Amino acid sequence: MNKIKEKAHVKRGLENVIAAHTRTSLVDGVNGELYYHGYSINDLAENARFEEVIFLFNHERLPSLVEYEELRAQIVSEMRLPSQVVKMIELSPPNAHPMDVLRTAVSMLGMFDPDTENNSQTANQRKAIRITAQVPSIVAALNRVRQNQPVLSADPKLNLSGNFLYMMNGRKPEENELTIMNLVLVLLTDHGTNASTFAARVVASTLAEMHSTVSAALSALKGPLHGGANQRVMEMLLQIDNIDEVTAYIDGMLDDKKRIMGFGHRVYKVQDPRTDHLRRYSELLCSQNKIDKLHQISQKVEQIVLQKKGIYPNVDFYLATILFALGITKEYFTPVFAIARTVGWVAHIQEQYSDNRLIRPSCIYEGKRGKKYIPINER
C-alpha cells in the first residue's frame, strides 16, 4: 500500500512540474499561443527579422534600427571558425550524423573562446553572440566539406539567415528563400522548458561554462522524440509515392501501433500556433519549386491523422517539407533547428546563472536492501 502511495508522487517525464521561473517564452497549450518576452509569435513571425529576436532575447526589448545593424554586423564578424575546428570537421567520419559533428564542434569551440572560464554576465553575453554566430557556420562548413566544396566565409552584406544559406549552398539566396529561412529561425527560437532547454539549465545549474551547456542541449535535441523528429517526418513522406497511397500508409502505421512523427505535443491541446505559418509557406515554396506533390501529400497526412486520431501536426511536420523544398537534405534538418534554438538556450542558461540553485531531483528507490556480499571465489 505504501509503495503504491509513493508511486503516485512520481511525475513521469516531470509533466506539470514547475522547475524554474523564466521571462523568455510562454507556451500556452490551452489556447494555442506562444509568446517571446511578451510578443506573440504570430506578430514576430510576420514582421521580425531573426536578429531582432536575438536582440530581444539578449536585452528583453526589440532593437532600434542602429542597434539592429550593429548586432547584424557583430554576428557576421563572429561567424568565422578557428582553423582547428574546421580541420576537425574535415576529419569527422563521413557517416557521422551532422548533429554529432555539431555537438563536438561546439564543445571544441569552448577551448578556443577567450572567455571560456569567465562566467561573468558580460563575458556570457559575448559568448552567447559567438555561439549564436558559429553554430550556423559549423553546419554550413560540414555540408560543404561533404560535398568536396570549399568552406565559405560570411558575406558582410547578408544577415544570419542569408549567410547560412549562402555558406551552405555556395550561392546568394533568393528573396523568397531569405524570407522563409528567417521565418523558420524566428519560429524555432524558443519554446519553454522543452527537453533540450531543460538539459541546458540542468548543466548550467552546476555552473559549467556555456559551451558545455549548449553541448548538452544539442545532445538532447538530437533525439527522435525532440528535434530529431523532423528528419523522421521527411523519411516518412519520402516513402509515400503519391497522394493516393497516403490513407493506406497511415492506416498501416496505426495498425502497427507506430508513432507518426510530427504529430501531437506534450503541451498544446489545440493546434501548435507555428503550424499555420509553416503550412502556408510550405505550399508557396513547393509550388515555386514545382514539387507541389510533396505539399499535397503532407496535407493529406495531416487530414487523415486529424480525422482518425484527433491529433494536430506540431512544428516538425511542415518544417520538414519547407527545409526539403529549400534544398536542405534531411540529415541537416535538426542542425537547422539547433541554429535557431541556440538563441533560446543561451538566454535560459544566463537566466539560470542569474538565480541559480543546483538542479537535483529525487527518485523513489524500488530495489532490495540488506543483500550480503559473497566473496568472488564463492559465487
Report the amino acid identity of residue 335: P
CA separation for the pair 171, 190 (Å, rounded): 29
Collect all residues with Cβ–Cβ distance below 8 Å to 338 and sequence separation of at least 6.
99, 102, 135, 139, 218, 221, 227
CB under 8 A, 24+ apart: contacts of 326-333: 326/165, 326/177, 326/180, 326/181, 326/285, 327/169, 328/168, 330/230, 330/231, 330/234, 330/235, 330/238, 331/97, 331/98, 331/231, 332/98, 332/139, 332/143, 332/168, 333/230, 333/231, 333/234
In angstroms, the CA 333 to CA 108 distance is: 22
C-alpha 233/C-alpha 255 separation (Å) is 18
Q: Compute how many other C-beta atoms are within 10 angstroms of the C-beta atom of residue 192.
A: 19
What element of type H or E holds 188?
Answer: none
Judge whether 21 counts as a catalytic residue.
no
Cα–Cα distance measured from residue 251 to residue 300, given in angstroms and rounded to the nearest whole number: 13
Catalytic, out of 265, 277, 295, 348:
265
Q: Which of 113, 190, 272, 316 is catalytic?
A: 316
Let me know if 265 is a catalytic residue.
yes
In the chain, what is the straight-line distance between the N-terminal and C-terminal CA atoms, in Å? 35
Catalytic sites, residue numbers: 265, 316
